[in-house]
Amino acid sequence: MKIPKSKLVPVSILVMLIIWGFIFAYRAGFIPTGLDVFIFILILIGGGYAFVGQMKKHKDIQAGFPAEDEMSTRIKYKAGHHAFMASMYLWLFIFLFHDHFPDIETMLGAGILLSAVLAIVIKSYLTRTYHENQD
């Protein structure tokens, strides 16, 4: 797969900055705890998914396919509904177990990031399921 330079260079610079940022933070004496590492991993998952999605969309447009059709719109709406319902239960559990979070900002940040990851997982599952049922 040929990746355009306009997309590859900024992502490479961003990855390099992330790695150097961790090295700098470690040298400065900041050692992330388990929850900090978990939140960072959630951010990387969301960013990676967005990057791969945009690369796929760019590839489809270059191949002459539409960026979005009726099936992808239906999948997006259905995934949004399921992600919203799952997020409501996620927030219920977060507020029930709020004692396990060090502060309110961490609790809210983890909830928002977990909601985003839930949406990613549900959309990926529905996309794969609908495309397998079409054959």
Domain extents in the chain: 1-31, 34-134
State the pTM of this model: 0.63
SS3 letters for 42-79? HHHHHHHHHHHHHHHHHHHHHHCCCCCCHHHHHHHHHH
Sign of the alpha-carbon dihedral angle for 34, 40, 44, 46: positive
Outline where DSSP puts E strands in the chain. none
- For position 83, what pLDDT does the model report? 92
Report mean pLDDT in 10-residue bins for the chain, 135 residues.
Answer: 62 78 79 74 78 80 80 87 92 88 82 87 87 58
